[in-house]
Structure 1
Amino acid sequence: MTEPILPRIRPAIAALAPYRQGKQAGPDAFKLSSNENPFDPLPSVAEALQHTTPINRYPDATAGRLRARLGERYGVDADQVHVAAGSVSILHQLILATASVGDEVIYAWRSFEAYPSLPLVAGATGVQVPLTAESRHDLEAMADAVTERTRAIILCTPNNPTGPIITSDEFATFVARVPGDVLIILDEAYAEFVTAPDAVNGLTGRLHEKHPNVVVLRTFSKAYGLAGLRVGYAIGNVAVLNAARATGIPLSVTSAAENAAIASLDAEPELLERVAVIVERRTRLVEGLRAQGWDVPDSQANFVWLPTAERTDEIAAAFGENDLVVRAFPGDGIRISVGEEGSIDRVLEVAAGVR
């Protein structure tokens, strides 16, 4: 049988593996693979989902009500806020807007799995800078990697999947070394879980005002528990965000997502109480693992990192056999989300058994 003639696909795209989502969990298992919020939606947020634009009508393409609310919250104009279907969508837009063939995008590695695909899809070249021995961003090495071809730099703080932060002092030293025409994307998807007093905070620090080449990303997926609705936002210079908006897919933020995000902001005190519970569980998990002898980095997110190296597959399988679905990065380590209360002791029990 003659093989059909197919459209030509860019070789780099044909070789690119699709994003690998964390495994789904069975009815009796704890899903600790996707950094989701383990709590059910608040009643007020669930109620907001009942009052959305009829699904036969398009949503507001600008997410104007949410942008206005976020602008009020952070003391910026609504045009300085960009909303899209998750912060990763905004990352994609920003890279498309700044980098193309012959350009470079710098990011730390290991970091968020989506980062390597972003420059590749844009036709640019990704430049990976290894983490330090403490699983932290090596900002000095990242600044050294900047060339005349560099168009964007992605910083993930706290870093996914290892957990450590970038400090305010470290960021100040770094941004001073980066040319002003290079975009710095501060990916703060887990900012609400941070308790370290010296951590950089792009929004309370108003870094977008001090440095027009800095864009700060946040999401409603993690602390706010709206992962299934896909809504994130960026705050930064209007011209930079307009470029991102120009590359985005129109109408990608549904009215349900916008309503739920606004309701979540209204309910923020209740949600932050839940965040405090997750932080307390994280602390117990880190302390318990370290007491067993694991070299666990100082996580400031809603997950912990086990540097399991060549034993990664073996140890991940042991967690799976005990109904704990974790995220394995073969050859490197295992990321374990902080989940339900009942999962904490089980994680520690399995970890002790494979230590």
Structure 2
Amino acid sequence: MTSTRNSINDAAVQEDPSPAVITPRPVMAKLPKYAAGKPPAVIEGLQPFKLSSNENPLPPLPEVLAAIHSQHNIQRYPDPLSTALRTELGRFLDVPAEDIVTGAGSLGALVQILQTFAGQNEDGSVDEVVYAWRSFEAYPIMVGLAGADSVQVPNREDGSHDLEAMVAAVTERTRVVLLCTPNNPTGPALTTAQVEDFLSKVPSDVVVVIDEAYTEFVREPEAVDGVSLYRNYPNVIVLRTFSKAHGLANLRVGYSVANQRLTQHLRVAATPFAVSSLAEDAAIASLKHYEQVMERVQSLVDERERVVAGLKDLGWKFPESQGNFVWLPLGDDAQDFAEFAGTQALSVRAFPGEGVRVSIGEVEANTRFLALCASYPKGPGAS
């Protein structure tokens, strides 16, 4: 009996066709892959430094670490609305708490915006999202996953947004425009006058996102302040994060600010419990000690200015940087430079064929980076 049953099973196996191949949505084949900054190579005798992810090299404030350590209800779900954090942010920004929607970093908040306002419509038509390029590399991925089409407008030669060209790229299909200021990875920031002029030319039913992930590092007096603008422009949404200046990248907490006619929809798209109570408590503690946060930020800005001055002394040409990074437009030599940096235990972020973004890190790391630029065989001082 057992023999007969085995024979039947063997025959069934032989007759079964090959398993069906499970394939993802077609859009997946069109999307670029997000390339996170790599850790530095280990080189004997050299302290390795990671300058590839625009991370804050300084740890969170002691008060923030204390707030994290005092969190004991990890077994409980967090408040899905991050009420305590939104209340604190409302006081800090002088805006209604109802105008704030939290997310898993500013990227999580952006995903909520795109899922809410851009994608494929019931009639099969596809919305468009306009943004400068090169800019934040997650943009085309998130736009594609939302079901919308990317319209990439090349940056100007100085690495800044070409706002006139972006206006010209807006069509009846455009639902969202992304402005990244300071622009990651090239560095320039937009001014208030530039953005107000842009908003005057864009239809009021197009959502304009002002992505200000690096706003605390900006020292340009005329730089735009998205929170000030959103008060007067109902189609503006501001993105901010605790990942950079506050040094909370690992905890993933960011937020958007918009008028309540927009936030009522964003809350529907928000991922439940995206911001943990751990992250919420840490962010609140950091806000309550904002002056100390900005003292640390200023130390990084001072280092950025030292690096910028050193690069200029060496003859390097690059865009103005208002973030915690500098951009070297190396073109076809980008990957070569990154590999050269690796021999000095420095990891930098190469964009092959375009350039290299180097984060401002520890003093020793920045000093070694300048020495690297002085000795790079293809640098401006090479014979």
Q: Same fold (TM over 0.5)?
A: yes
Partner of 1:165: 189
Q: Following TM superposition, by how much is the alpha carbon of 1:53 offset from its aligned partner in structure 2, in angstroms?
A: 4.9
User: Structure 1 stretch 237-246 or stretch 273-282: which is displaced more?
Assistant: 237-246
Cα distance per residue 1:192-237 (max 9 Å; x no partner): 000110100112xx21110000011110000000000000011111
Contact 2:40 2:342 in 1 (8 A): no
Partner of 1:66: 85
CA distance in structure 1 between the aligned counterparts of 2:32 and 2:142, rounded to whole angstroms: 12
3-state SS of paired residue (2:138): coil
Task: Tell me whether 1:233 sits opposite 2:248 in the alignment.
Answer: no
What secondary structure sits across from 2:130 in the alignment? strand
**Greater Rg by CA:** 2
Say whether 1:54 aligns with 2:73. Answer: yes
Report the counterpart of residue 55 of structure 2 in structure 1: 36
> What is the CA distance between 1:271 and its match in structure 2?
1.1
Percentage of pairs with the same residue: 48
Equivalent pair of 1:316/1:328 in contact (CA under 8 Å): yes
Q: Which amino acid aligns with 2:159?
A: S
The equivalent residue for 2:145 is: 121
The AA in structure 2 aligned to 1:51 is: S
Aligned CA distance change for structure 1 residues 143 and 326 (closer, same or farther; 3 Å): same
The alignment partner of 2:250 has SS state of coil
Superposition pairs for residues 210-225 of structure 1, below 5 Å? 210-225=232-247
**How far apart, in 1, do the equivalents of 2:88 and 2:240 lie?**
14
| Cα distance in 2 for residues equivalent to 1:323 and 1:124 | 40
1:121-148 superposed Cα distances (whole Å, 9 cap, x missing partner): 1111100000001110000110111110
In the TM superposition, what is the alpha-carbon distance from 1:55 to its structure 2 partner?
Answer: 1.4
Q: Are the aligned partners of 2:64 and 2:286 in contact in 1 as well (CA < 8 Å)?
A: yes
For 1:133, the aligned partner's letter is: E
Is the CA contact (8 Å cut-off) linking 2:41 and 2:342 kept in structure 1? no
- Describe the SS at the equivalent of 1:58: coil
1:150 aligned residue (169, 174, 178)? 174
Correspondence for 1:192 among 199, 213, 216: 216
Give the aligned residue type for 2:65.
A
- The amino acid of 1:332's aligned partner reads E
**CA shift for structure 1 position 18:** 3.4
**Corresponding residue SS for 1:326:** strand
Cα gap change, 1:103 to 1:265, in 2 (>3 Å): same
Q: Which amino acid aligns with 2:31?
A: L
Is 1:23 the counterpart of 2:42? The answer is: no
Per-residue CA shift, 1:51-96, capped at 9, x if unaligned?
2251111001110000011111222221101111100011111011
Q: Does residue 7 in structure 1 map to residue 22 in structure 2? A: yes
Match of 1:112 in 2: 136
Deviation at 1:15, TM superposition (A): 3.8
Higher mean C-alpha displacement, 118-127 vs 323-332: 118-127
Code of the aligned partner of 2:374 = A
Structure 2 counterpart of 1:328, one-letter code = A
Distance 1:127 1:17, change over 3 A: closer
The 2-side partners of 1:257 and 1:53 are apart by 13
Describe the SS at the equivalent of 1:342. Answer: helix
Query: Cα distance, 1:120 vs. partner?
Result: 0.9
CA contact (8 A) 1:53 1:59 kept: no
Equivalent in the alignment of 1:178: 202
**What CA distance in whole angstroms lies between the structure 2 residues aligned with 1:217 and 1:140?**
22
Structure 1 residue 8, shift from structure 2 partner: 3.8
Q: What is the aligned residue count?
A: 353
8 Å CA contact retained: 1:53, 1:256? no
Question: Which ranges of 4 or more aligned residues in structure 1 deviate by more than 6 Å?
Answer: none
| Other-structure match for 2:3 | none
SS in 1 for 2:249: coil
Structure 1 vs Structure 2 CA RMSD:
1.4
> Are the aligned partners of 1:190 and 1:223 in contact in 2 as well (CA < 8 Å)?
yes
CA deviation after TM superposition for structure 1 residue 26, in Å? 5.3
Give, in whole Å, the separation in 1 of the partners of 2:316 and 2:49. 21
1:194–1:301 Cα contact (<8 Å) kept: yes
Counterpart Cα distance in 2 of 1:240 and 1:202: 16
Question: 8 Å contact 2:41–2:346 — kept in the other structure?
Answer: no
Q: SS in structure 1 opposite 2:305?
A: helix
Is residue 94 of structure 1 aligned with residue 104 of structure 2?
Answer: no
Is the 8 Å Cα contact of residues 106 and 129 (structure 1) preserved in structure 2?
A: yes
2:101 is matched with 82
